[in-house]
Amino acid sequence: MNLEVNKFERPYEVGRVKIVQDFITDGHERRALDIGCGPGFFTMMLCKQGWKTTCIDADSRNVESVRKCCAAEAILGDAVQVLSQLPSATYEFALALEIIEHMPKPQGEALLKHIKRLLKVGGRLLLSTPNRFSLEGLGDYYWGEKLRRGPKWNAWDETHIYIYSSFEIIHLLKLSGFSMCQIIGYWYEGRLPIIGRWRLPLKEARRFPFNRVGFKSIYECIRSS
């Protein structure tokens, strides 16, 4: 069975994986959600750490892979629809990694509201998504899309529907009933209009303002009430 682990072994993914892994603490038989689980890379981490994991994906191949390799409940279907049918206040931890950018804004808002409902008070959400307020985003959005009337900037993925800025995501998380714990900006080697390819001397930032301008942003927050 191919879990596409090579994707996560690429140099530009190793740092992001390490950041996420550090947030997956010992589950002690508590319950976790992996929303948009893909082939199960992070689901396996959750299960190995003792989390009773429910994972959701719209691709039947991914769901089948998870069912074969993990002691997890794997559900096939649209994330928002599946979440709407799960019982409230059931989970202590939720992963929503690289999923919210694949849906229109109203659906993204519904996603966060359902996650909040499903988490127990004090439950944690770890969310990651590309950042329109990154150097790449600002360059391609304003220079390429707005000034030069080029194609819509989609963070180099045609399946992306809406790319949020870090400030939009923070605002939306707070409106959805979450309190922010930590924001991490993460950079790959990138490219900018005119300048071309570039590499920053840092790979991640956890303090303002640099944590707001990573190409990808990782948000840890809790259900506050």
Average pLDDT over residues 165-184: 97
| Domain segments of the chain as ranges | 27-128
Give the C-alpha separation, 225 to 204, whole Å.
30
Q: Are 126 and 94 in contact (CB under 8 A)?
A: yes
> Over 70: is that where the pLDDT of 191 sits?
no
Provide the CB-side half-sphere exposure for 23 (13 A, CA).
27
Give Cα 8 distance to the centre of its chain.
14
Q: What would the mean pLDDT of 26-54 be, rounded to a whole number?
A: 95
Among the residue ranges 36-45, 159-168, 202-211, the one predicted with the least confidence is 202-211
Model confidence band, residue 138 (pLDDT cutoffs 50, 70, 90): confident
pLDDT at 5 exceeding the cut of 60: no
Q: Is the pLDDT of residue 143 over 80?
A: no
* H or E element in which residue 170 lies: helix 166-175
Q: How far apart are the first and last CA of the chain?
A: 41
In the beta sheet, which residues pair with residue 191? 197
Rounded-to-integer distance, Cα 215 and Cα 225, Å: 31
Which structure tokens are listed for 172?
């939306």
Tell me the pLDDT tens digit for each residue of 65-117.
899 888 789 999 999 999 999 999 999 999 999 999 999 999 999 999 999 99
Strands 91-97 and 31-35: parallel
The CATH number corresponding to 27-128 among 3.40.50.150, 1.10.645.10, 3.30.70.270, 3.30.750.24 equals 3.40.50.150
pLDDT of residue 1: 39
Query: Alpha-carbon distance 71 to 104, whole Å?
Result: 32
Q: Give the model's confidence band at 137: pLDDT under 50 very low, under 70 low, under 90 confident, else very high.
A: confident
* pTM across the whole model: 0.91
